[in-house]
A and B are shown apart, each in its own frame.
Chain A
Amino acid sequence: MKAILNKQQLEITIKRLAHQILENHISLEDTVIIGIQPRGIYLSDQIVSEIKKELHLKKIKYGKLDITFYRDDIRKQLHVANQTDILFSIEGKKVVLIDDVLYTGRTIRAALDALMDFGRPEKVELCVLIDRRFSRQLPIQPDYTGKAIDSIVSQKVKVNWTKSEVVLY
Protein backbone atom coordinates (compact mmCIF):
# COMPACT_ATOMS: atom_id res chain seq x y z
CA MET A 1 0.00 0.00 0.00
CA LYS A 2 1.34 3.38 -0.99
CA ALA A 3 0.16 6.74 0.36
CA ILE A 4 -0.67 9.23 -2.39
CA LEU A 5 -1.89 12.10 -0.20
CA ASN A 6 -1.71 12.38 3.59
CA LYS A 7 -4.03 14.43 5.75
CA GLN A 8 -2.11 17.70 5.40
CA GLN A 9 -1.61 17.31 1.64
CA LEU A 10 -5.31 16.48 1.20
CA GLU A 11 -6.35 19.68 2.99
CA ILE A 12 -3.99 21.81 0.92
CA THR A 13 -5.09 20.13 -2.31
CA ILE A 14 -8.79 20.73 -1.58
CA LYS A 15 -8.07 24.41 -0.81
CA ARG A 16 -6.18 24.72 -4.09
CA LEU A 17 -9.02 23.12 -6.08
CA ALA A 18 -11.50 25.54 -4.49
CA HIS A 19 -9.27 28.49 -5.39
CA GLN A 20 -8.75 27.27 -8.95
CA ILE A 21 -12.49 27.00 -9.44
CA LEU A 22 -12.92 30.52 -8.06
CA GLU A 23 -10.20 31.83 -10.37
CA ASN A 24 -12.32 30.86 -13.37
CA HIS A 25 -15.73 31.64 -11.82
CA ILE A 26 -14.93 34.79 -9.90
CA SER A 27 -18.45 35.89 -9.02
CA LEU A 28 -20.15 32.47 -9.00
CA GLU A 29 -23.20 34.29 -10.35
CA ASP A 30 -23.79 31.93 -13.25
CA THR A 31 -21.96 28.96 -11.78
CA VAL A 32 -23.38 25.92 -10.05
CA ILE A 33 -21.42 23.19 -8.26
CA ILE A 34 -22.62 19.61 -8.60
CA GLY A 35 -21.14 16.68 -6.68
CA ILE A 36 -21.52 13.14 -8.00
CA GLN A 37 -23.13 10.62 -5.63
CA PRO A 38 -22.05 8.88 -3.57
CA ARG A 39 -18.28 9.37 -3.21
CA GLY A 40 -17.88 12.70 -4.95
CA ILE A 41 -19.99 14.34 -2.26
CA TYR A 42 -17.26 14.18 0.39
CA LEU A 43 -15.03 16.25 -1.87
CA SER A 44 -17.71 18.62 -3.16
CA ASP A 45 -18.91 19.35 0.41
CA GLN A 46 -15.39 20.46 1.36
CA ILE A 47 -14.80 22.47 -1.81
CA VAL A 48 -18.14 24.22 -1.36
CA SER A 49 -17.35 25.11 2.25
CA GLU A 50 -13.92 26.50 1.18
CA ILE A 51 -15.58 28.60 -1.52
CA LYS A 52 -18.16 29.96 0.92
CA LYS A 53 -15.41 30.83 3.41
CA GLU A 54 -13.38 32.60 0.74
CA LEU A 55 -16.28 34.66 -0.62
CA HIS A 56 -18.03 35.14 2.75
CA LEU A 57 -21.19 33.71 1.25
CA LYS A 58 -23.84 31.83 3.17
CA LYS A 59 -25.35 30.06 0.20
CA ILE A 60 -24.16 29.03 -3.23
CA LYS A 61 -25.91 26.92 -5.84
CA TYR A 62 -24.79 23.41 -4.93
CA GLY A 63 -26.48 20.17 -5.94
CA LYS A 64 -25.92 16.42 -5.75
CA LEU A 65 -26.34 14.15 -8.73
CA ASP A 66 -26.87 10.38 -8.72
CA ILE A 67 -26.01 8.59 -11.95
CA THR A 68 -27.18 5.04 -11.15
CA PHE A 69 -30.00 5.00 -13.71
CA TYR A 70 -27.64 6.23 -16.46
CA ARG A 71 -24.89 3.62 -15.99
CA ASP A 72 -23.85 1.54 -18.99
CA ASP A 73 -23.35 -1.65 -16.94
CA ILE A 74 -26.92 -2.07 -15.61
CA ARG A 75 -27.23 -5.49 -17.24
CA LYS A 76 -24.08 -6.68 -15.46
CA GLN A 77 -24.87 -5.38 -12.02
CA LEU A 78 -27.45 -3.17 -10.35
CA HIS A 79 -26.16 -0.53 -7.97
CA VAL A 80 -27.86 1.20 -5.04
CA ALA A 81 -29.37 4.50 -6.15
CA ASN A 82 -28.62 7.57 -4.05
CA GLN A 83 -30.51 10.82 -3.66
CA THR A 84 -30.32 13.39 -6.44
CA ASP A 85 -30.80 16.86 -5.07
CA ILE A 86 -30.71 19.68 -7.63
CA LEU A 87 -33.20 22.32 -6.56
CA PHE A 88 -32.34 24.96 -9.17
CA SER A 89 -32.28 25.28 -12.93
CA ILE A 90 -29.00 24.61 -14.72
CA GLU A 91 -30.27 26.11 -17.99
CA GLY A 92 -27.56 28.43 -19.36
CA LYS A 93 -25.39 27.99 -16.24
CA LYS A 94 -21.71 27.03 -15.94
CA VAL A 95 -21.58 23.68 -14.17
CA VAL A 96 -18.60 22.38 -12.21
CA LEU A 97 -18.94 18.61 -11.77
CA ILE A 98 -17.01 17.16 -8.84
CA ASP A 99 -15.97 13.54 -8.24
CA ASP A 100 -13.26 11.90 -6.15
CA VAL A 101 -11.44 9.59 -8.60
CA LEU A 102 -11.43 9.84 -12.40
CA TYR A 103 -10.62 6.41 -13.83
CA THR A 104 -12.31 5.00 -16.96
CA GLY A 105 -14.44 8.10 -17.55
CA ARG A 106 -17.67 6.06 -17.67
CA THR A 107 -19.14 7.67 -14.54
CA ILE A 108 -18.59 11.12 -16.01
CA ARG A 109 -20.21 10.05 -19.30
CA ALA A 110 -23.27 8.95 -17.32
CA ALA A 111 -23.19 12.17 -15.28
CA LEU A 112 -23.18 14.29 -18.44
CA ASP A 113 -26.23 12.42 -19.75
CA ALA A 114 -28.00 12.80 -16.41
CA LEU A 115 -27.13 16.49 -16.24
CA MET A 116 -28.66 17.20 -19.66
CA ASP A 117 -32.03 16.00 -18.33
CA PHE A 118 -32.02 19.02 -16.02
CA GLY A 119 -31.50 21.56 -18.79
CA ARG A 120 -28.87 22.84 -21.21
CA PRO A 121 -25.87 24.23 -19.35
CA GLU A 122 -23.67 26.83 -21.05
CA LYS A 123 -20.56 24.91 -20.08
CA VAL A 124 -19.58 21.88 -18.00
CA GLU A 125 -16.23 21.54 -16.25
CA LEU A 126 -14.84 18.60 -14.33
CA CYS A 127 -12.97 18.71 -11.04
CA VAL A 128 -11.45 15.53 -9.54
CA LEU A 129 -9.23 14.81 -6.57
CA ILE A 130 -7.32 11.93 -8.20
CA ASP A 131 -6.83 11.50 -11.94
CA ARG A 132 -5.74 7.96 -12.87
CA ARG A 133 -4.36 9.11 -16.19
CA PHE A 134 -3.65 6.59 -18.98
CA SER A 135 -6.62 4.47 -17.75
CA ARG A 136 -9.34 6.24 -19.68
CA GLN A 137 -11.83 4.26 -21.79
CA LEU A 138 -13.67 7.36 -23.03
CA PRO A 139 -12.35 10.74 -24.24
CA ILE A 140 -12.94 12.65 -20.99
CA GLN A 141 -10.39 14.87 -19.23
CA PRO A 142 -10.56 16.89 -16.01
CA ASP A 143 -10.31 20.70 -15.88
CA TYR A 144 -9.15 20.75 -12.25
CA THR A 145 -6.99 17.94 -10.89
CA GLY A 146 -5.93 17.37 -7.28
CA LYS A 147 -3.23 14.90 -8.20
CA ALA A 148 -2.58 12.86 -11.34
CA ILE A 149 -1.18 9.38 -10.76
CA ASP A 150 0.05 6.54 -12.94
CA SER A 151 -1.55 3.25 -11.99
CA ILE A 152 -2.30 -0.07 -13.61
CA VAL A 153 -5.71 -1.73 -13.88
CA SER A 154 -5.07 -4.27 -11.10
CA GLN A 155 -4.33 -1.46 -8.64
CA LYS A 156 -6.99 0.37 -6.66
CA VAL A 157 -7.15 3.94 -5.44
CA LYS A 158 -8.96 4.57 -2.21
CA VAL A 159 -9.87 7.95 -0.79
CA ASN A 160 -10.48 7.40 2.91
CA TRP A 161 -12.43 10.43 4.12
CA THR A 162 -12.60 9.36 7.75
CA LYS A 163 -8.81 9.08 7.96
CA SER A 164 -8.30 11.91 5.43
CA GLU A 165 -5.82 10.10 3.23
CA VAL A 166 -5.54 8.71 -0.28
CA VAL A 167 -3.82 5.35 -0.84
CA LEU A 168 -2.87 3.19 -3.80
CA TYR A 169 -2.87 -0.57 -3.32
Chain B
Amino acid sequence: MQLSTRHLLGIKELSAKDISTILSTATQFKEVLQRPIKKVPSLRDVTIINLFFENSTRTRISFELAEKRLSADVLNFTASASSVSKGETLLDTVNNILSMKVDMVVMRHSASGAPHFLSQHIPAAIVNAGDGINEHPTQALLDAFSINEKTGKLKGTKVAIIGDIMHSRVALSNIYLLKKVGAEVVVCGPPTLIPKYIGNALNVEVSYNLRETLEWCDVANVLRIQLERQNQVLFSSLREYSLAYGINRQLLDDLKKEIIIMHPGPINRGVELDSDVADSKQSIILQQVENGVAVRMAVLYLLSGRNPARE
Protein backbone atom coordinates (compact mmCIF):
# COMPACT_ATOMS: atom_id res chain seq x y z
CA MET B 1 0.00 0.00 0.00
CA GLN B 2 2.97 2.31 -0.48
CA LEU B 3 3.55 4.71 -3.33
CA SER B 4 5.96 3.70 -6.08
CA THR B 5 8.02 6.80 -5.33
CA ARG B 6 9.87 8.16 -2.31
CA HIS B 7 9.16 11.81 -3.11
CA LEU B 8 6.26 13.67 -4.66
CA LEU B 9 8.17 15.68 -7.25
CA GLY B 10 5.44 15.74 -9.86
CA ILE B 11 2.45 13.86 -11.22
CA LYS B 12 4.71 12.80 -14.09
CA GLU B 13 6.53 10.41 -11.75
CA LEU B 14 3.34 8.85 -10.30
CA SER B 15 1.56 5.75 -11.57
CA ALA B 16 -2.21 5.58 -12.03
CA LYS B 17 -2.27 3.27 -9.00
CA ASP B 18 -0.37 5.83 -6.89
CA ILE B 19 -2.96 8.43 -7.84
CA SER B 20 -5.87 6.21 -6.86
CA THR B 21 -4.15 5.28 -3.57
CA ILE B 22 -3.68 8.97 -2.72
CA LEU B 23 -7.26 9.89 -3.65
CA SER B 24 -8.84 7.02 -1.70
CA THR B 25 -6.69 7.76 1.36
CA ALA B 26 -7.72 11.42 1.06
CA THR B 27 -11.38 10.36 1.27
CA GLN B 28 -10.67 8.82 4.67
CA PHE B 29 -8.79 11.92 5.83
CA LYS B 30 -11.70 14.08 4.74
CA GLU B 31 -13.85 12.13 7.21
CA VAL B 32 -11.23 12.73 9.94
CA LEU B 33 -11.65 16.48 9.32
CA GLN B 34 -15.38 16.24 10.16
CA ARG B 35 -14.73 14.76 13.62
CA PRO B 36 -14.98 16.69 16.90
CA ILE B 37 -11.20 16.19 17.26
CA LYS B 38 -9.83 16.67 13.74
CA LYS B 39 -6.51 15.05 14.35
CA VAL B 40 -4.81 11.66 14.10
CA PRO B 41 -1.49 10.59 15.69
CA SER B 42 0.00 9.01 12.53
CA LEU B 43 2.96 11.39 12.06
CA ARG B 44 3.75 11.99 15.74
CA ASP B 45 7.35 10.93 15.12
CA VAL B 46 7.90 13.03 11.99
CA THR B 47 9.29 16.55 11.67
CA ILE B 48 8.41 18.48 8.53
CA ILE B 49 9.77 21.78 7.24
CA ASN B 50 7.82 23.99 4.86
CA LEU B 51 10.42 25.67 2.68
CA PHE B 52 8.76 28.48 0.77
CA PHE B 53 11.04 30.39 -1.57
CA GLU B 54 8.01 31.94 -3.25
CA ASN B 55 4.85 33.58 -1.89
CA SER B 56 1.81 31.48 -1.12
CA THR B 57 -1.37 31.70 0.96
CA ARG B 58 -3.51 28.64 0.28
CA THR B 59 -0.84 26.04 -0.34
CA ARG B 60 1.22 27.03 2.62
CA ILE B 61 -1.64 27.17 5.11
CA SER B 62 -3.09 23.99 3.67
CA PHE B 63 0.20 22.09 4.08
CA GLU B 64 0.75 23.42 7.57
CA LEU B 65 -2.76 22.46 8.62
CA ALA B 66 -2.40 19.01 7.03
CA GLU B 67 0.86 18.48 8.94
CA LYS B 68 -0.69 19.58 12.22
CA ARG B 69 -3.77 17.41 11.70
CA LEU B 70 -1.37 14.46 11.33
CA SER B 71 0.41 15.42 14.60
CA ALA B 72 3.73 16.13 12.86
CA ASP B 73 6.14 18.72 14.23
CA VAL B 74 6.13 21.65 11.83
CA LEU B 75 8.77 24.24 10.96
CA ASN B 76 8.18 27.15 8.64
CA PHE B 77 10.77 28.81 6.49
CA THR B 78 10.35 31.93 4.40
CA ALA B 79 13.19 32.78 2.05
CA SER B 80 12.90 36.53 2.47
CA ALA B 81 13.41 36.30 6.26
CA SER B 82 16.33 33.84 6.08
CA SER B 83 20.05 33.59 5.34
CA VAL B 84 19.18 32.97 1.70
CA SER B 85 19.24 36.74 1.42
CA LYS B 86 22.86 36.59 2.68
CA GLY B 87 23.79 34.36 -0.27
CA GLU B 88 23.50 30.83 1.17
CA THR B 89 22.90 28.18 -1.51
CA LEU B 90 19.77 26.05 -1.63
CA LEU B 91 21.68 22.86 -0.84
CA ASP B 92 23.52 24.45 2.11
CA THR B 93 20.28 25.85 3.49
CA VAL B 94 18.55 22.47 3.30
CA ASN B 95 21.50 20.46 4.62
CA ASN B 96 21.75 22.77 7.62
CA ILE B 97 18.08 22.28 8.33
CA LEU B 98 18.29 18.50 7.89
CA SER B 99 21.21 18.25 10.32
CA MET B 100 18.65 19.28 12.95
CA LYS B 101 16.83 15.98 12.25
CA VAL B 102 14.05 16.98 9.91
CA ASP B 103 12.36 14.06 8.10
CA MET B 104 10.36 15.65 5.30
CA VAL B 105 10.66 18.77 3.20
CA VAL B 106 7.72 20.54 1.57
CA MET B 107 9.15 22.95 -0.94
CA ARG B 108 7.99 25.73 -3.21
CA HIS B 109 10.57 27.35 -5.46
CA SER B 110 10.48 29.70 -8.42
CA ALA B 111 13.02 27.56 -10.32
CA SER B 112 11.56 24.62 -12.24
CA GLY B 113 13.25 21.40 -11.14
CA ALA B 114 14.49 22.71 -7.77
CA PRO B 115 12.89 19.83 -5.80
CA HIS B 116 14.21 17.29 -8.33
CA PHE B 117 17.72 18.66 -7.80
CA LEU B 118 17.31 18.50 -4.04
CA SER B 119 16.00 14.93 -4.15
CA GLN B 120 19.31 13.76 -5.59
CA HIS B 121 21.33 15.24 -2.76
CA ILE B 122 19.40 14.84 0.47
CA PRO B 123 17.98 11.81 2.31
CA ALA B 124 14.67 13.39 3.40
CA ALA B 125 11.39 12.85 1.54
CA ILE B 126 10.46 15.85 -0.62
CA VAL B 127 7.00 17.10 -1.50
CA ASN B 128 6.87 19.61 -4.33
CA ALA B 129 4.53 22.47 -3.47
CA GLY B 130 5.09 24.14 -6.84
CA ASP B 131 8.30 24.60 -8.81
CA GLY B 132 8.49 27.46 -11.32
CA ILE B 133 6.43 26.67 -14.39
CA ASN B 134 6.88 22.91 -14.05
CA GLU B 135 4.49 21.15 -11.66
CA HIS B 136 2.20 21.67 -8.68
CA PRO B 137 1.27 18.05 -7.97
CA THR B 138 -0.86 18.46 -4.83
CA GLN B 139 -3.03 21.04 -6.63
CA ALA B 140 -3.70 18.56 -9.44
CA LEU B 141 -4.50 15.84 -6.89
CA LEU B 142 -6.96 18.05 -5.03
CA ASP B 143 -8.52 19.14 -8.33
CA ALA B 144 -9.00 15.49 -9.30
CA PHE B 145 -10.37 14.70 -5.84
CA SER B 146 -12.87 17.57 -6.15
CA ILE B 147 -13.95 16.54 -9.67
CA ASN B 148 -14.43 12.96 -8.53
CA GLU B 149 -16.36 14.08 -5.47
CA LYS B 150 -18.69 16.22 -7.59
CA THR B 151 -19.20 14.00 -10.66
CA GLY B 152 -18.48 10.55 -9.19
CA LYS B 153 -15.84 9.65 -11.73
CA LEU B 154 -12.65 10.81 -13.46
CA LYS B 155 -12.44 8.37 -16.35
CA GLY B 156 -14.17 9.85 -19.39
CA THR B 157 -14.90 13.17 -17.67
CA LYS B 158 -14.39 16.09 -20.04
CA VAL B 159 -12.15 18.70 -18.46
CA ALA B 160 -11.23 22.03 -20.06
CA ILE B 161 -8.18 23.86 -18.72
CA ILE B 162 -8.60 27.50 -19.63
CA GLY B 163 -6.24 30.46 -19.62
CA ASP B 164 -2.50 30.89 -19.17
CA ILE B 165 -1.38 27.33 -19.99
CA MET B 166 2.18 28.42 -20.81
CA HIS B 167 3.11 29.71 -17.35
CA SER B 168 0.93 27.41 -15.30
CA ARG B 169 2.34 24.56 -13.25
CA VAL B 170 -1.24 23.78 -12.26
CA ALA B 171 -2.08 23.18 -15.92
CA LEU B 172 0.86 20.82 -16.50
CA SER B 173 0.19 18.76 -13.36
CA ASN B 174 -3.51 18.61 -14.18
CA ILE B 175 -2.85 17.43 -17.72
CA TYR B 176 -0.48 14.65 -16.56
CA LEU B 177 -2.96 13.51 -13.93
CA LEU B 178 -6.12 13.66 -16.02
CA LYS B 179 -4.47 11.72 -18.87
CA LYS B 180 -3.25 9.06 -16.42
CA VAL B 181 -6.73 8.47 -15.03
CA GLY B 182 -8.41 8.44 -18.43
CA ALA B 183 -10.16 11.82 -18.48
CA GLU B 184 -10.52 13.84 -21.70
CA VAL B 185 -8.61 17.12 -21.73
CA VAL B 186 -8.87 20.27 -23.81
CA VAL B 187 -6.61 23.25 -23.18
CA CYS B 188 -8.06 26.60 -24.21
CA GLY B 189 -6.63 30.10 -24.32
CA PRO B 190 -5.08 32.66 -26.63
CA PRO B 191 -2.41 31.17 -28.96
CA THR B 192 0.31 33.21 -27.26
CA LEU B 193 -0.40 31.53 -23.91
CA ILE B 194 -0.51 27.93 -25.19
CA PRO B 195 2.84 26.23 -25.95
CA LYS B 196 2.99 25.41 -29.66
CA TYR B 197 3.60 21.65 -29.46
CA ILE B 198 1.55 20.89 -26.35
CA GLY B 199 -1.13 19.03 -28.33
CA ASN B 200 1.21 16.32 -29.61
CA ALA B 201 3.61 16.30 -26.68
CA LEU B 202 0.96 15.74 -24.01
CA ASN B 203 -1.79 14.22 -26.14
CA VAL B 204 -4.38 16.93 -25.44
CA GLU B 205 -6.75 18.84 -27.69
CA VAL B 206 -6.07 22.54 -28.17
CA SER B 207 -8.83 25.10 -28.69
CA TYR B 208 -8.67 28.85 -29.12
CA ASN B 209 -12.45 29.22 -28.87
CA LEU B 210 -13.81 29.63 -25.35
CA ARG B 211 -17.50 29.16 -26.21
CA GLU B 212 -16.91 25.89 -28.10
CA THR B 213 -14.75 24.60 -25.28
CA LEU B 214 -17.38 25.39 -22.66
CA GLU B 215 -20.07 23.68 -24.78
CA TRP B 216 -17.92 20.54 -24.84
CA CYS B 217 -16.72 20.24 -21.26
CA ASP B 218 -18.20 18.94 -17.99
CA VAL B 219 -15.65 20.79 -15.89
CA ALA B 220 -13.86 24.07 -16.60
CA ASN B 221 -10.66 24.59 -14.61
CA VAL B 222 -9.94 28.29 -15.04
CA LEU B 223 -6.38 29.48 -14.46
CA ARG B 224 -5.03 32.77 -13.25
CA ILE B 225 -3.22 35.08 -15.63
CA GLN B 226 0.28 35.00 -14.14
CA LEU B 227 1.51 38.48 -14.89
CA GLU B 228 4.49 37.97 -12.56
CA ARG B 229 5.88 35.20 -14.79
CA GLN B 230 5.31 36.94 -18.12
CA ASN B 231 8.30 38.94 -19.22
CA GLN B 232 6.90 39.96 -22.59
CA VAL B 233 3.60 41.23 -23.91
CA LEU B 234 1.51 38.15 -24.73
CA PHE B 235 -1.86 39.87 -25.03
CA SER B 236 -2.74 43.51 -25.47
CA SER B 237 -4.51 44.19 -22.18
CA LEU B 238 -6.24 42.43 -19.30
CA ARG B 239 -9.48 43.99 -20.49
CA GLU B 240 -9.10 42.48 -23.93
CA TYR B 241 -8.15 39.10 -22.45
CA SER B 242 -11.25 39.22 -20.32
CA LEU B 243 -13.47 39.98 -23.34
CA ALA B 244 -12.17 36.97 -25.27
CA TYR B 245 -11.40 34.43 -22.51
CA GLY B 246 -13.10 35.68 -19.35
CA ILE B 247 -16.02 33.58 -18.12
CA ASN B 248 -19.16 35.51 -17.30
CA ARG B 249 -22.71 34.63 -16.26
CA GLN B 250 -24.16 35.25 -19.72
CA LEU B 251 -21.75 32.79 -21.32
CA LEU B 252 -22.64 30.06 -18.82
CA ASP B 253 -26.39 30.69 -19.10
CA ASP B 254 -26.19 30.25 -22.88
CA LEU B 255 -24.79 26.72 -22.53
CA LYS B 256 -27.11 23.74 -22.83
CA LYS B 257 -25.86 22.19 -19.58
CA GLU B 258 -24.56 23.27 -16.20
CA ILE B 259 -20.80 22.87 -16.05
CA ILE B 260 -18.59 22.86 -12.96
CA ILE B 261 -16.28 25.85 -12.50
CA MET B 262 -12.92 25.40 -10.77
CA HIS B 263 -10.04 27.77 -10.07
CA PRO B 264 -6.80 27.10 -8.19
CA GLY B 265 -6.75 30.63 -6.75
CA PRO B 266 -5.91 33.40 -6.28
CA ILE B 267 -8.68 34.70 -8.54
CA ASN B 268 -8.29 37.86 -10.60
CA ARG B 269 -11.95 38.82 -10.35
CA GLY B 270 -13.25 40.33 -13.56
CA VAL B 271 -10.31 39.00 -15.59
CA GLU B 272 -10.52 35.22 -16.02
CA LEU B 273 -13.68 34.84 -13.89
CA ASP B 274 -16.48 37.29 -13.17
CA SER B 275 -17.43 37.66 -9.52
CA ASP B 276 -20.95 36.29 -9.95
CA VAL B 277 -19.53 33.16 -11.60
CA ALA B 278 -16.83 32.65 -8.97
CA ASP B 279 -19.40 32.94 -6.18
CA SER B 280 -22.19 30.93 -7.85
CA LYS B 281 -23.18 27.41 -6.83
CA GLN B 282 -21.69 26.07 -10.05
CA SER B 283 -18.31 27.00 -8.68
CA ILE B 284 -16.51 24.54 -6.37
CA ILE B 285 -13.56 26.83 -5.67
CA LEU B 286 -13.96 26.76 -1.89
CA GLN B 287 -14.54 22.99 -1.86
CA GLN B 288 -11.21 22.67 -3.70
CA VAL B 289 -9.52 24.54 -0.85
CA GLU B 290 -11.27 22.38 1.75
CA ASN B 291 -10.25 19.17 -0.05
CA GLY B 292 -6.67 20.42 -0.29
CA VAL B 293 -6.03 19.69 3.38
CA ALA B 294 -7.29 16.09 3.14
CA VAL B 295 -5.32 15.44 -0.06
CA ARG B 296 -2.11 16.83 1.44
CA MET B 297 -2.64 14.73 4.56
CA ALA B 298 -2.86 11.67 2.31
CA VAL B 299 0.35 12.56 0.46
CA LEU B 300 2.33 13.23 3.65
CA TYR B 301 0.98 10.10 5.34
CA LEU B 302 1.79 7.85 2.37
CA LEU B 303 5.31 9.28 1.93
CA SER B 304 6.14 9.21 5.65
CA GLY B 305 6.09 5.43 5.64
CA ARG B 306 9.23 5.23 3.57
CA ASN B 307 11.81 7.42 5.12
CA PRO B 308 15.44 6.42 4.56
CA ALA B 309 16.64 8.98 7.10
CA ARG B 310 14.94 6.88 9.76
CA GLU B 311 16.04 3.43 8.60
A interface vs B, CB < 8 Å?
66, 68-70, 74-75, 77-85, 113-114, 116-119
- Give the residues in chain A near B24, CB-CB below 8 Å: 80-81
Minimum CB–CB distance for A63 against chain B, Å: 11
Q: How far is the CA of A79 from the CA of B31 in the complex (A)?
A: 17
Query: Is the beta-carbon distance between B41 and A78 smaller than 8 angstroms?
Result: no
Tell me how far the C-beta of B35 lies from the nearest C-beta in chain A, rounded to whole angstroms: 6
Given contacts A70-B41, A75-B45, A117-B36, whether A82 and B28 have CB atoms under 8 Å apart is: yes
Q: With a CB–CB cut-off of 8 A, which chain A residues contact B1?
A: 77-80
Cα A83 to Cα B1 in complex, Å, equals 16
- A70 lies within 8 A of B40 (CB): yes
Q: List 17 A-B contacts (CB under 8 A).
A: A68-B28, A69-B301, A70-B40, A70-B42, A74-B42, A74-B304, A75-B305, A75-B307, A77-B305, A78-B1, A78-B2, A78-B301, A79-B1, A80-B1, A80-B24, A83-B28, A119-B36
Residue of B35, B302, B304, B310 with most chain A CB atoms under a 10 A cut-off: B35
Which residues of A lie under 8 Å from residue B40 when comparing CB positions?
Answer: 69-70, 114, 117
The answer to whether the Cβ of B119 comes within 8 Å of any Cβ in the partner chain is no
The reply on B37 being an interface residue by CB < 8 A is yes
Q: Report the minimum CB–CB distance from B182 to chain A (whole Å).
A: 22
Across the two chains, which residue of chain B brings its CB closest to A120?
A: B36
Residues on B with C-beta less than 8 A from A77 are 1, 305
Tell me whether A74 and B305 are in contact (CB under 8 A).
yes
Decide if A66 touches B310 in the complex (CB within 8 Å): no
With A75-B310, A78-B302, A84-B31 already in contact, the answer to whether A69 and B42 are too (CB < 8 A) is: yes
| Extra contacts besides A74-B42, A74-B304, A114-B40 (14): CB < 8 Å | A69-B29, A69-B32, A70-B40, A70-B42, A75-B310, A78-B1, A78-B302, A80-B24, A83-B27, A84-B28, A85-B31, A116-B37, A118-B35, A119-B36
Q: Which residues of A contact B35 (CB under 8 A)?
A: 117-118
Contact residues, B16-33 vs A (CB, 8 A): 24-25, 27-29, 31-32
Q: How many A-B residue pairs have CB under 8 A?
A: 52
The reply to whether the CB of B39 lies closer than 8 angstroms to some CB of chain A is yes
- The reply to whether A117 and B25 form a contact with Cβ atoms under 8 Å apart is no
For the side of the interface on B, what is the size category?
Answer: 20 to 34
Distance in angstroms between the alpha carbons of A132 and B40 in the assembled complex: 29
Smallest CB-CB separation from A117: which chain B residue? B37
A117 partner residues in chain B, CB cutoff 8 A = 35-37, 39-40
- Kindly provide the distance from the CB of A116 to the nearest chain B CB, expressed in whole angstroms: 8
B41 nearest in chain A by CB position: A70
Complex Cα distance, B102 from A137, in Å, reads 32
B118 CB to closest chain A CB, in angstroms? 23
Q: Mark B36-50, 1 if CB is under 8 A from A, else 0.
A: 110111100100000
CB distance B41 to A69 under 8 Å?
Answer: yes
**Complex Cα spacing A80 to B2, Å:** 9
**A66 and B28 contacting across the interface, CB-CB below 8 Å:** yes
CA–CA, A117 to B39, complex, Å? Answer: 8
**CA–CA, A77 and B32, complex, Å:** 21
Instruction: Say whether B305 contacts A118, CB under 8 Å.
Output: no
Most chain A beta-carbon neighbours within 10 Å: one of B25, B28, B32, B35: B28
Q: Which residues of B lie under 8 Å from residue A78 when comparing CB positions?
A: 1-2, 301-302, 305
Complex CA–CA separation, A79 to B43 (angstroms): 14
Q: Which residue from chain B places its CB closest to the CB of A69 in the assembled complex? A: B40
Shortest Cβ gap from A141 to chain B (Å): 24
Q: How far is the CB of A114 from chain B (nearest CB, A)?
A: 8
Kindly list chain B residues whose C-beta atoms are within 8 Å of the C-beta of A66: 28
| Shortest Cβ gap from B23 to chain A (Å) | 12
Q: How many whole Å from A163's CB to the nearest CB in chain B?
A: 27
Q: Which of B31, B39, B307 has the most CB of A within 10 A?
A: B31
Q: Is the CB of B36 within 8 A of A118?
A: yes
Bound Cα distance from A81 to B25, whole angstroms: 6
Residues of chain B within 8 A (CB-CB) of A74 are: 42, 304-305
Nearest to A84 among chain B residues (CB) is B31
